Structure 1
Amino acid sequence: MYVCKGFKTLYIIELYTMRNVLIVFVVSLLFASCSNADKYKKLETSLDSTSYSLGLLFASKIPQNLEQNNIDSISFQHFIQGIRDYFDSTGTTVLTQEESQKLVQRYIEQIMSSSNKAYASQFLKNETEGNIYLDNNKKNQGVIELQKGLQYQVYYAGWGQLQPDVRDTILVHFKILNTSQKVLFDSRSKSSEPIKLPMDSAITAFKRVLPLVYTGAKLRIFSSHEFAYGTQVTKKDVIEPYQTLLFDIELVKTLKGNYTDTSRDSLYADTVKK
Structure 2
Amino acid sequence: MKRITLSVLFLVAVSSFGVYAQKKEKNKKSDKQEVATTVAPLVSKSDTLAYAFGVSLAENGLVQYLQQLGVVSDTNAIYGDYNSRIEATADEDEKIRLKNELTAKMDSITAADNSNLEQLLRGIREKLETKDVNKAYTTGLEVGGQLLNVSGRFSEQAFAGTDEKLNNAVLFEGVKDYLSKNSLRVEDSKHIVDSRMADMTAKVNEEKKKEYAEVIAAGERFMAENAKKEGVVTLEDGLQYKILTEGNGPKPTVSNEVKVHYKGTFIDGTVFDSSIDRGEPITFALTGVIQGWTEVLQLMPVGSKWEVYIPYNLAYGDVDRGTIKPYSNLIFEIELLEIVK
TM, length-normalised to structure 1: 0.55
Q: State yes or no: 1:245 paired with 2:330.
A: yes
Q: State yes or no: 1:173 paired with 2:264.
A: no
Q: Residues 1-274 of structure 1 correspond to what in structure 2 (within 5 A)?
A: 30=126, 43=132, 46-47=133-134, 51-52=137-138, 54-64=140-150, 67=153, 70-72=157-159, 73-86=165-178, 92-93=182-183, 95=185, 99-137=188-226, 144-147=231-234, 150-155=239-244, 157=245, 161-162=248-249, 164=251, 166=253, 169=256, 170-186=258-274, 192-198=280-286, 203-204=291-292, 207-208=295-296, 211=299, 215-225=302-312, 228-229=314-315, 232-235=317-320, 239-254=324-339, 260=341
1:127 is paired with a residue of what secondary structure?
helix
TM-superposed deviation, 1:246: 0.4
The structure-2 alpha-carbon separation of the partners of 1:33 and 1:196, relative to structure 1 and needing over 3 Å to count, comes to closer
Percent identical among aligned pairs is 14
1:216 is paired with a residue of what secondary structure?
coil
Structure number with the higher helix fraction is: 2
Listed one character per residue, the Cα deviations across residues 175-199 of structure 1 (whole Å, up to 9, x for unaligned) are 3321133344445799934323449
Paired residues of 1:29 and 1:56 also in contact (CA < 8 A): no
Paired residues of 1:174 and 1:250 also in contact (CA < 8 A): yes
Q: Which moved more, 1:104-113 or 1:167-176?
A: 167-176
Paired residues of 1:173 and 1:194 also in contact (CA < 8 A): yes
What is the alpha-carbon distance in structure 2 between the residues aligned to residue 122 and residue 83 of structure 1? 39
Structure number with the higher strand fraction is: 1
Paired residues of 2:263 and 2:275 also in contact (CA < 8 A): yes
Q: What letter is aligned with 1:74? A: L
Listed one character per residue, the Cα deviations across residues 141-193 of structure 1 (whole Å, up to 9, x for unaligned) are xx5221385544555x26x5315265784421223321133344445799934
The structure-2 alpha-carbon separation of the partners of 1:33 and 1:65, relative to structure 1 and needing over 3 Å to count, comes to closer
What is the alpha-carbon distance in structure 1 between the residues aligned to residue 210 and residue 151 of structure 2? 27
Alignment partner, residue 12 of structure 1: none
Paired residues of 1:152 and 1:222 also in contact (CA < 8 A): yes
Q: What letter is aligned with 1:95? A: R
The structure-2 alpha-carbon separation of the partners of 1:56 and 1:67, relative to structure 1 and needing over 3 Å to count, comes to same
What is the alpha-carbon distance in structure 1 between the residues aligned to residue 150 and residue 321 of structure 2? 19
Paired residues of 2:227 and 2:234 also in contact (CA < 8 A): no
Paired residues of 1:165 and 1:207 also in contact (CA < 8 A): no
Show structure 1 runs of 5+ residues with no match. Answer: 3-27, 35-39, 261-274
TM-superposed deviation, 1:130: 1.5
Paired residues of 2:219 and 2:328 also in contact (CA < 8 A): yes
TM-superposed deviation, 1:129: 0.4
What is the alpha-carbon distance in structure 1 between the residues aligned to residue 284 and residue 259 of structure 2? 5
TM-superposed deviation, 1:137: 4.7
Paired residues of 1:154 and 1:220 also in contact (CA < 8 A): yes
What is the alpha-carbon distance in structure 2 between the residues aligned to residue 189 and residue 118 of structure 1? 37
What is the alpha-carbon distance in structure 1 between the residues aligned to residue 253 and residue 328 of structure 2? 24
Paired residues of 2:309 and 2:329 also in contact (CA < 8 A): yes
2:308 is paired with a residue of what secondary structure?
strand
Aligned CA-pair RMSD: 4.5
The structure-2 alpha-carbon separation of the partners of 1:202 and 1:74, relative to structure 1 and needing over 3 Å to count, comes to closer
What is the alpha-carbon distance in structure 2 between the residues aligned to residue 57 and residue 209 of structure 1? 50
Paired residues of 2:226 and 2:232 also in contact (CA < 8 A): no
